[in-house]
Structures are given as C-alpha cells and as structure tokens.
Structure 1
Amino acid sequence: TAARLMALPPAAGRPASVDQALREAGVAAWPKALAQARAALSQLGPRRARELPLWLLDLDLSLKGEASRGLRSRLALERLFCKMTRRGDAQPPRRS
C-alpha cells in the first residue's frame, strides 16, 4: 500500500512523494482519483493506513467463516469501522 511504501527508508526505495507512492500502489493517475486517495490516506493517518490491509483480511475471513450470517456479519463490519476511526488512536484516560 502507499502507506507502507512511504514508511520505507529512502535507501530501500521510498517514493519521493505521496502521489508517486499512490501511483505505485495502483491508484489511477487521474487528478481526481489521486486527490481522493491522498485525502483518504491523510484522514486515516499513517498507522491505520499501514494496518488497513490486515483489517480487511480479517474482515474477509470473518465474513467467509462463522460470522457470515445474521448479526455476526454486521458486528464484523462495525469492528472494522471502529478500528478506522480516529478515536482508536487516542490514549486511554489515566486513572489517578
């Protein structure tokens, strides 16, 4: 993914720009597509963007497995949405 490419050190083939990383990750070179992908990437943030492929794999396996029926499939989708929110990045409040 583009986030993983941007996390590489410069000597290991890190793209020079976010747009170049998005193109290498397979985003169409149209200006609107690049702008939308750039906005989505910045909204997710680098940590969540790097974890997104693993989350999607987990969702895929859940939907194909035991969670494929009824409320379990909805719960699997809701878990993905919760992981994608910014609130998941916040530190838990400290207790005194």
Structure 2
Amino acid sequence: MQSHEADIANRITALVRGILEQNSLSAEVTSETKLVDIGLTSMDMVNLMLSVEAEFDFTIPQGEITPENFQSVGTLQRMIVGQLQPTAA
C-alpha cells in the first residue's frame, strides 16, 4: 500500500510543479513544503484543486476543500487517500 501512496504523492508533486512552471517559478517541492511558501496564489490553489480532481477522477467533497487540506503535498495526499479508499460497509 505504501507504493500506492507514494504514487499519489508523486502525481500531486507533478501537478504542483506544473503550476509553478506556468508561473515561471522554480522551487523544491517536498511532501511537507508549504504550497503558499513556494509561490502558489489563491488562483493557483483553485487550479490545483481542479487538477487534482481531473488527475484522480473524483470530485473533492465541499467539506474537504479547506486550507488545512491544501497546505502541502502531504496534506493533499492524506485527503486524497481518504477519499479514494472504499467505504467500509
């Protein structure tokens, strides 16, 4: 299961790097890097949210669209893993 979570983190990191490149920014992106500290604006966060939904083929529930979930690659990864896990019956 660890490799699945690492794959999710890598895909999120790629999305963040893509947004940085669009803005002509360069920064090291780790799982704990604060996204606002590397230059992502509120519009970039909206683009990231839409990119995450497209990349992982699900709609982020309104209750999960919080500043806490969009702080870093790691916080996004935890939210996505939680959303993609099948619900226990």
TM-score (norm 1): 0.30
Q: Relative contact order, CA 8 A, sep 6+: which one is greater?
A: 2
